[in-house]
Amino acid sequence: MNSQRITIFDTTLRDGEQSPGISLNAFEKVEIAEQLARLGVDVIEAGFPISSPGDFEGVQKIAREVSGVSVCGLARAIDKDIRTAWDAVREAERPRIHTFISTSDVHLEHQLRKTRDEVLAAAREMVALAVSLCDDVEFSAMDATRSDPDFLAAVLAAAIEEGATTINIPDTVGYAMPAEFGAFIRDQFERVPGLAEVAVSVHCHNDLGLAVANSLAAVEAGATQVECAVNGLGERAGNASLEEIVMIMETRRDELGRETGIVTTEIDRTSRLVSQLTGYEVQPNKAVVGKNAFAHESGIHQDGVLKERTTYEIMNARSIGRSQSDIVLGKHSGRHALKSAMEELGFSLSDDELNQAFENFKKIADKKKQITAVDLEHLVSEELRELTDIYELKSYEVVSSSEFTPTCQVIIEKEGEELPGRSFSGGSMESMFMAIDKAVGTTGLLKDYQVRAVTSGKDSLGEVKVVVEVNGEDYAGTALSIDVVEASAKAYIRAINNAYRAGAVK
């Protein structure tokens, strides 16, 4: 049976970054985008250029530097939004403008405060503007599933008439159920004959845990593009999970008759990179990429898998790239060995970047007997984050005892200036974070604090993830070190850096 090719539209860097606490800088966005290109996604929605100068910079940098994939910028159906989006993506190999406007009465009345006629006119005018700038234009009817079907059809037909090449029918608030959503898509195909001539996309949210199921129902009803995010990141409960969508189509291809261009062996690495850079941990029992996804504790299951893997595994861990790499380096390894190992992992480093990576590698290798592929991935990600930090940890000293109050002294560097901070408090970590606050001149509220070992062994690198509230907003920070005290300090400072970039810290 010939399978139909489904376009994978990844919105990790746009909708995914809207998850509370996530604030990626331009370098981090490019690193994720390059991995998404290696993964084989068809379209990268790189951001919302009008939303901030930082977002514009990130989208433009991806457009300039990432090849082999369409790069898309989001824009409201507003003249300035669309022109700004075009300025951000115009240098891409294959640029796309994605413009949207709400079509549900609840949005029209309470958010847009526009009539149906005004929305229809805006959709027509702004799609025409986008088409005049860019050959590839996607139009979305926000909150489509709660819209009047007749009015929705009129807006979609107008967008097609004006030249939109992709029509997106989103379940913006995650309200639909699979059978209902499939019928809804079929109904729009009947009402709007022009849908048969363009790509039809769906963007489903996971508020009721049905984003993946709804996306698949839409595909079976005729949709040819699915919008999704790595690890299911996104607003509120998130988006349809890219890895689940892809592996369902791969595992059940005989039943569904659909396929994607995804290089499935890059899935696990992509998931880990996104988790590292966003600070959002993947839940252990997450389908496909959770650490327990291929784990078996039950004796019956273990016995079955040892005899024949397919008794309890419908997917092979190696098919998503889960197999452990044989790359193992130590303190006697040279620069060439490190470069070779990094290239095998997909990292292409300049001479300066390689020199810095080698210096950091040697520092770790002096303390850790063996450095594995997973360690290397984390080390490079950590280095990329450090390149853009405004505040950096210069030195620290923590004194803790059961006999007296823990104390901490830190020196934070900001653009060449050393900022000292000192604190006495009830716990060593609390003292550390308070000392950083005093050095920076802010007050952060620690909302979440997680420590985990990157690999096995007592000498494993420790990864610390924090969420810090600054001026009422949450900012995430992640850092890595052999010493979890140092990693904790760096993670907290990284959250402060994210707050600084957002203007919450001066």
Domains of the chain: which residue ranges? 4-278, 328-385, 388-501
Q: Which CATH number applies to 388-501: 3.30.420.10, 1.10.357.10, 3.30.160.270, 3.40.50.2300?
A: 3.30.160.270
pLDDT attached to residue 300: 44
- Distance CA(101)–CA(278), nearest Å, equals 28
- 150-201 tens-digit pLDDT: 999 999 999 999 999 999 999 999 999 999 999 999 999 999 999 999 999 9
Q: Specify the residue for token string 């489509």.
A: 144
pLDDT attached to residue 167: 98
pLDDT attached to residue 181: 98
- E strand or H helix that includes residue 212: helix 211-220
CB-based contact 442:505 (threshold 8 Å): yes
Give the tokens for residue 394. Answer: 């210069």
Chunked mean pLDDT (size 10), the chain, 506 residues = 89 90 83 96 98 93 97 98 98 98 96 95 98 98 97 98 98 97 98 98 98 98 98 96 97 95 95 87 91 62 52 77 63 74 70 76 69 68 69 92 88 93 88 94 92 75 87 86 88 90 82
Q: What's the pTM?
A: 0.80
- Distance CA(443)–CA(433), nearest Å, equals 9
pLDDT attached to residue 327: 54
**Averaged confidence pLDDT in the chain:** 88
pLDDT attached to residue 298: 44
CB atoms within 10 A of CB 118: 13
Task: Write the CA distances from 73 to 26, 56, 239, 266, 278, integer angstroms.
Answer: 14, 9, 18, 24, 20
Beta bridge partners of 275: none
pLDDT attached to residue 322: 80
pLDDT attached to residue 24: 84
pLDDT attached to residue 304: 54
- E strand or H helix that includes residue 159: helix 149-161
Q: DSSP of 81-118, one letter per residue? A: HHHHHHHHHTTSSEEEEEEEEE-SHHHIIIII---HHH
Residue 49 is given by DSSP the state G
Local structure of 191: helix, strand or coil = helix
Task: Give the angle 359-360-362 at the CA atoms, nearest 5°.
Answer: 65
Q: What percent of the chain has pLDDT over 90?
A: 61
Give the tokens for residue 39. Answer: 């993964």
pLDDT attached to residue 301: 43
- 223-246 tens-digit pLDDT: 999 999 999 999 999 999 999 999
* 3 contact partners, CB below 8 Å, separation of at least 6: 253, 257, 258, 259
CATH code, 4-278: 3.20.20.70
- Distance CA(201)–CA(40), nearest Å, equals 18
Beta bridge partners of 469: 445, 474
- 458-496 tens-digit pLDDT: 767 788 888 899 998 888 888 888 888 988 999 999 899
Among 331, 327, 329, 324, residue whose Cα is nearest residue 362:
331
- Distance CA(279)–CA(272), nearest Å, equals 10
Secondary structure string (H, E, C) spanning 216-285 = HHHHHCCCCEEEEEHHHCCCCCCECEHHHHHHHHHHCHHHHCEECCCCHHHHHHHHHHHHHHHCCCCCCC
CB atoms within 10 A of CB 314: 9
pLDDT attached to residue 346: 65
> Is 4-278's fold the same as 388-501's?
no
For helices 267-278 and 373-387, what crossing angle results, to 10°? 40
pLDDT attached to residue 302: 44
Among 128, 141, 196, residue whose Cα is nearest residue 168:
141
pLDDT attached to residue 277: 84
Give the tokens for residue 120. Answer: 């229809």
pLDDT attached to residue 385: 62
- Distance CA(286)–CA(243), nearest Å, equals 10
